[in-house]
């Protein structure tokens, strides 16, 4: 096999998409509604670690994808490329614009030192916020699946 720079870029793109974006698919399972306080704390700790993968891997996947389009047989006139970029932007808006502020609010409450250590219940306000975060993650996951399908199938319209 001839390992030229284009093939290396393809491998980087696919691997960063899988490794970088893949953990984001765990968010709807990890931050589900109805968790007791200690389990919710654990979920938020794990979620904070998993967030690093999409931030780094997602950025590399986008940059390598643009490199593939420029260097390959694809052209920016292909509709699937614009659709893929649009879906990626929608996912970022959902996660950065809507989920992150809500997660920050819940995270601050969860790890506030003034919380009763004996209490394991989550107030209604925060249960509703976690439910909203869960829904946003679920919608972003569906968009992520569509994005992967577009990247694999590359439909022509």
Six token digits for residue 52? 């690093």
Written in H, E and C, the secondary structure of 122-152 is CCHHHHHHHHHHHHHHHHHHHHHHHHHHHHH
Contacts for 146 with CB less than 8 Å, ≥ 6 apart: 87
Mean pLDDT for each consecutive 10-residue tract of the chain (157 residues)? 79 89 83 85 90 86 88 78 89 90 92 67 88 93 92 84
Task: Report residue 66 as tokens.
Answer: 């643009």
Helix (H, G, I), strand (E, B) or coil at 50: helix
Consecutive H or E run containing 61: helix 52-71
Question: Residue 48 belongs to what domain range?
Answer: 5-153
What pLDDT score does 1 carry?
Answer: 45
Q: Provide the number of structural domains found in the chain.
A: 1
* pTM summary value: 0.83
- 82 half-sphere exposure, CB direction, 13 A CA radius: 7
């Amino acid at each position: 096999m001839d390992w030229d720079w284009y093939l290396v870029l393809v491998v980087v793109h696919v691997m960063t998409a899988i490794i970088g974006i893949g953990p984001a698919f765990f968010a709807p399972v990890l931050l589900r509604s109805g968790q007791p306080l200690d389990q919710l704390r654990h979920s938020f700790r794990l979620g904070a670690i998993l967030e690093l993968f999409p931030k780094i891997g997602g950025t590399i996947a986008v940059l390598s994808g643009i490199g593939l389009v420029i260097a390959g047989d694809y052209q920016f006139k292909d509709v699937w490329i614009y659709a893929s970029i649009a879906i990626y932007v929608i996912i970022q808006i959902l996660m950065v614009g809507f989920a992150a502020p809500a997660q920050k609010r819940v995270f601050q409450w969860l790890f506030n030192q003034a919380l009763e250590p004996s209490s394991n219940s989550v107030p209604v306000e925060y249960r509703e916020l976690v439910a909203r975060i869960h829904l946003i993650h679920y919608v972003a996951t569906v968009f992520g699946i569509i994005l992967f399908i577009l990247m694999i199938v590359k439909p022509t319209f």
